[in-house]
Amino acid sequence: EAYLKAIDEANPKLNAYVAVTADQARQMAVASDEKLAKGQGGPLEGLPLGIKDLFGTKGVHTQAASHILDSFKPEYESTVTSNLWRDGAVMLGKLNMDEFAMGSSNETSYYGPVISPWRAEGSNLDLVPGGSSGGSAAAVAAWLCAGATATDTGGSIRQPAAFTGTVGIKPTYGRCSRWGVVAFASSLDQAGPIARTVEDNALMLQSMAGFDPKDSTSVEMAVPDFAAAVERGVKGLVIGVPREYRMDGMPAEIEKLWQQGLEWLKAEGATVRDISLPNTKYALPAYYIVAPAEASSNLARYDGVKYGLRETGKDITDLYELSRAAGFGREVKRRVMIGTYVLSAGYYDAYYVQAQKVRTLIKRDFELAFQAGVDAILTPATPSAAFGIGDEDMKADPVKMYLNDVFTVTVNMAGLPGIAVPAGKDGKGLPLGLQLIGKPFDEETLFAAARVIE
Ligand code: GLN
């Protein structure tokens, strides 16, 4: 009831929820109370969570914040949310996001932007919460849920977490099932939690993760005890510092934050080593070929016939065209056009195949660093703190918006786990985050190291 009241009060301003499932939440909470009274509560019994609108929730609003999925309510429940309900969690509602998870500011949503609960000191300017999981991050930061599900294709868990002073982990590719989650770029998409602490993140991931025969890329591997790893400490760990992440023109406060993070890890017994990840500079351009290519293919299914919005046309082709024209927003159309272009005959080898080769090189950079004894890598999470809604620079040039992901996309390209953890504030009191990158399926080390920084 406290969370529902908080949502009622704050959501008209923040726009974090696109649907509130109050009746269902109350029913689930009563069932949780009964289980707890009998001593049969699950590990998350009664915990009220928000769910990103990308996750299929049976009979409940699931539109990926797009007009084209108008009124769509799936007949199925995603594996990740099923796992959370199995463990006792309670759903408060569905969270706003960038349309089809394409964006870094939550401004591409059909439902309008999410407003961050943060303000810069001495300013009343509305700030973005980051994206695409902007609703998830804002809801957690404003105490409109105890934790939220999110997804990350190029940074959409870690960048909004960094902008809102929350913690978010993108697990190793294959750790969480993608079944029942609306697909953006299938070889990059991963689900993960956004929560207020590292420990909450560990508890949520414990429940969300696990092998699922319904997702052929889900990995058949036991889920470790993540909560136990949180207090493990960093004594003896080798922390890599990639020199290519020291970008030209990086704000001094980000550099300072990074050094401070390294000092904290050293003080707890870690050693720090300079490393090189030479192909870093190609990650963003390669991502913006691979992700749109996969998106253009995944989004072909929205044709006005199978789901949601349908415009009437004079014939079937006309119906497809009118439905897609009316149903998709500008950024989604831009991605579909880039994707079909790089996959088209004549350009496929020059762009798509080349980007796949670059992806292998990026993955190899990380493999070499880990083989040389590095246990985890520390970098900034974002190149700046949160910016204003409707930022003129970013509006004028989509590539400026894409630069938000410069530190995070490498991790998706390589399939590695990455966590964003709040580490300090900028000169105006806005949160700044650091990122830890781990070996495949070694989320435990990330939780332990993030705990030292938070
Ligand atoms: N901002 C990136 C993009 O727009 C990443 C989005 C994501 O991780 N879903 O593609």
| CATH at 192 | 3.90.1300.10
Domain identity same for 149 and 296: no
Percentage of residues in the chain with pLDDT exceeding 70?
A: 100
Q: Which of 55, 95, 102, 128 to mutate to test the pocket of ligand 1 (most atoms within 8 A of CB)?
A: 102
d(CA 159, CA 423): 13
The closest-lying atom of ligand 1 relative to the alpha carbon of residue 153 is: 8
- Residue 95, domain member (yes or no): yes
The closest-lying atom of ligand 1 relative to the alpha carbon of residue 402 is: 1
Q: Which of 348, 372, 399 is at the close of a domain?
A: 348
Which carries the bigger pLDDT value, residue 395 or residue 317?
A: 317
The closest-lying atom of ligand 1 relative to the alpha carbon of residue 102 is: 4
- Residue 50, domain member (yes or no): yes
Which one-letter amino acid corresponds to residue 107? E
Q: Which of 322, 348, 374 is at the close of a domain?
A: 348
Band of the pLDDT at 395, cuts 50, 70, 90? confident
Domain identity same for 199 and 331: no
The closest-lying atom of ligand 1 relative to the alpha carbon of residue 409 is: 5
The closest-lying atom of ligand 1 relative to the alpha carbon of residue 157 is: 8
Q: Are 203 and 192 in contact (CB under 8 A)?
A: no
Domain identity same for 265 and 195: yes
Ligand 1 midpoint to CA 236 (Å): 35
- Residue 150, domain member (yes or no): yes
Q: Is the pLDDT assigned to residue 215 strictly greater than 90? A: yes
Q: What is the pLDDT of residue 171?
A: 98
Domain identity same for 408 and 435: yes
- Residue 147, domain member (yes or no): yes
User: Regarding beta strands 376-380 and 431-438, do their DSSP bridges make them parallel or antiparallel, or are they unpaired?
Assistant: antiparallel
Which carries the bigger pLDDT value, residue 403 or residue 435?
A: 435
Q: Which of 326, 348, 370 is at the close of a domain?
A: 348
Q: What is the pLDDT of residue 31?
A: 97
Ligand 1 midpoint to CA 386 (Å): 16
Domain identity same for 24 and 158: yes
- Residue 353, domain member (yes or no): no
Band of the pLDDT at 88, cuts 50, 70, 90? very high
Band of the pLDDT at 249, cuts 50, 70, 90? confident
Q: What is the pLDDT of residue 433?
A: 98
Structure tokens at 297: 């293919």
Q: Is the pLDDT assigned to residue 20 strictly greater than 90? A: yes
Our count of domains for the chain comes to 2
Q: Which of 132, 182, 335, 411 to mutate to test the pocket of ligand 1 (most atoms within 8 A of CB)?
A: 132
Q: What is the pLDDT of residue 382?
A: 96
The closest-lying atom of ligand 1 relative to the alpha carbon of residue 287 is: 10
DSSP lists the bridge partners of residue 287 as none
Q: How far, in Å, are 28, 238, 321 from residue 313 at the CA level?
A: 43, 61, 8
Take atom 5 of ligand 1 and give the residue whose Cα is closest: 154
Q: Of the residues 105, 133, 156, 177, which is catalytic?
A: 156
Choose the weakest-confidence range: 220-229, 237-246, 300-309, 392-401.
Answer: 392-401
Domain residue limits at 326 = 285-348
Ligand 1 midpoint to CA 343 (Å): 20
Residue 132 a catalytic site member: yes
Query: Does the predicted TM-score (pTM) go above 0.95?
Result: yes
Domain identity same for 193 and 339: no
Q: What is the pLDDT of residue 248?
A: 82
Q: What is the pLDDT of residue 62?
A: 98
The closest-lying atom of ligand 1 relative to the alpha carbon of residue 185 is: 9
Task: Indicate the average pLDDT of the chain.
Answer: 97
Ligand 1 midpoint to CA 161 (Å): 14
Ligand 1 midpoint to CA 40 (Å): 40
Band of the pLDDT at 394, cuts 50, 70, 90? confident
Band of the pLDDT at 136, cuts 50, 70, 90? very high
Domain identity same for 327 and 231: no
d(CA 155, CA 82): 24
Ligand 1 site residues, Cβ closer than 6 angstroms: 101-104, 132, 152-156, 184, 291, 405
Q: Of the residues 32, 104, 132, 136, which is catalytic?
A: 132
Domain identity same for 111 and 197: yes
What average pLDDT score do residues 187-199 get?
Answer: 98
Structure confidence by residue, pLDDT tens digits, 326-363:
999 999 999 999 999 999 999 999 999 999 999 999 99
Q: What is the pLDDT of residue 19?
A: 98
Structure tokens at 438: 């781990």
Structure tokens at 302: 């929205």
d(CA 175, CA 184): 17
Domain identity same for 232 and 321: no
Q: Give residue for tokens 């579909």.
A: 336
Ligand 1 midpoint to CA 100 (Å): 9
- Residue 207, domain member (yes or no): yes
Q: How far, in Å, are 3, 11, 91, 311, 358 from residue 57 at the CA level?
A: 20, 21, 10, 25, 36
Q: What is the pLDDT of residue 338?
A: 97
Q: Of the residues 52, 94, 170, 439, which is catalytic?
A: 52
Ligand 1 midpoint to CA 154 (Å): 5
Q: What is the pLDDT of residue 231?
A: 97
Ligand 1 midpoint to CA 342 (Å): 18
Domain identity same for 338 and 365: no
Domain identity same for 255 and 298: no
Domain identity same for 96 and 31: yes
Take atom 10 of ligand 1 and give the residue whose Cα is closest: 102
What average pLDDT score do residues 412-435 get?
Answer: 98
Ligand 1 midpoint to CA 11 (Å): 24
Band of the pLDDT at 257, cuts 50, 70, 90? very high
